[in-house]
Amino acid sequence: MKMKTTLYLSLLALLILSSAFLWPKKSTITPPGTFEVSENFYCDKHVISNFAWLEYMAWLKKIYGKESLEYKAAQPNADVWGEEFICLLQLRKYYHKHKAYGDYPAVGISQKQAEKYLKWRSDRVMQYFLISRKVIPNYNDSTPEDFFTIEKYFAGKYHNAAVHKKYMQYPVYSLPTPEQYLSISKDYPAYTDSLPKIPCYFDSLRAIPLHTAPKQIDFADGLSEWTKTANTIVGNNWRKPQGEIVGISKKASNYIGFRAICTWESYNEEK
């Protein structure tokens, strides 16, 4: 996928999502990609997909350049394929970038990479909410010095744009705690009862199809997921279907994905 096409789709998708919402006044709104768990507490319907990760990388490439440390640091670890099943080695070349796997879960992502992605996502969603409400223009940000962040905006340092007093809330996407994840997943169990028994069959990768139904909330058992607690994952997975519900991992793997929770925070001018 070419960078320009990917970036265009990314911006278009965010604008389409953003245009469906009204800005929060007394109550909060549902951030893009999430469902409401309780008042001002939202959770992603699905784990982050390869396509979403490629959008992120396309943005990093535009802002920092292909040879930058920022862009290289965001690369998924393709070596996770073939760790235990040699027949999956060919996925090292195709899984993260081929369009056929666009709606598959982004794996090979470390906990630190996931956290950086979610900060980026918070900034991008806030930016396009402000654009959709005509608070700021749609600037063609293209350098590390001029791209939008929530901190820059409220400090008046984003193209010297004045802070709109009507819009003082901003979204914060983050990893859930183990307790939050387990509480949510208890109410939204897996929609599939079967786990792949022969991992070398490509069909087994379809154990966790994303977006198979528009309103489906997916807490399938095929992946463990990163949490906010250091080196901690939750959920069974296709490699260890009978493992501990809460476990430890210090590295990226092909059986660990991630999703976000989100809350709206109010900006405090005294900070």
Angle between helices 3-19 and 111-132 (to 10 degrees): 60
Does residue 90 or residue 133 have the better pLDDT?
Answer: 133
Residue 4 in tokens: 């320009």
Whether 206 and 191 have beta carbons less than 8 Å apart is answered as no
Does residue 207 or residue 239 have the better pLDDT?
Answer: 239
Percent of the chain whose pLDDT exceeds 70? 75
Per DSSP, helices labelled H in 20-148 are 50-64, 69-73, 91-94, 111-132
**Residue 245: predicted pLDDT:** 84
Count: domains in the chain = 1
Residue 245 located in a structural domain: yes
Strands in 169-174's sheet, in edge-to-edge order, are 34-38, 41-44, 261-266, 169-174
Residue 228 located in a structural domain: yes
pLDDT in tens, 107-162: 999 999 999 999 999 999 999 999 999 999 999 999 999 999 999 999 999 999 99
Residue 82 in tokens: 């073939």
Count of CB atoms situated within 10 Å of the CB of 233: 26
Least confident of 17-21, 125-129, 151-155, 225-229: 17-21
Residue 157 located in a structural domain: yes
Residue 16 located in a structural domain: yes
**Residue 191: predicted pLDDT:** 45
Residue 129 located in a structural domain: yes
CA distance 184 to 186: 5
pTM of the predicted structure, to 2 decimals: 0.84
**Segments forming the whole domain that contains residue 169:** 3-266
**Residue 99: predicted pLDDT:** 86
Residue 8 located in a structural domain: yes
**Residue 211: predicted pLDDT:** 52
CA distance 253 to 210: 19
Residue 269's pLDDT band (cuts 50, 70, 90): low
Residue 271 located in a structural domain: no
Work out the average pLDDT over 58-67: 98
* DSSP run (H or E) holding 15: helix 3-19
How does the average pLDDT of the chain come out, rounded?
Answer: 83
192 Cβ contact partners less than 8 Å away, ≥ 6 residues apart: 207, 208, 220, 221, 222
Whether residue 192 is predicted with pLDDT greater than 50 in this model: the reply is no
Q: Are strands 232-234 and 41-44 parallel, antiparallel or unpaired?
A: unpaired
Angle between helices 111-132 and 50-64 (to 10 degrees): 80
Residue 156 located in a structural domain: yes
Bridge partners, residue 256, by sequence: 224
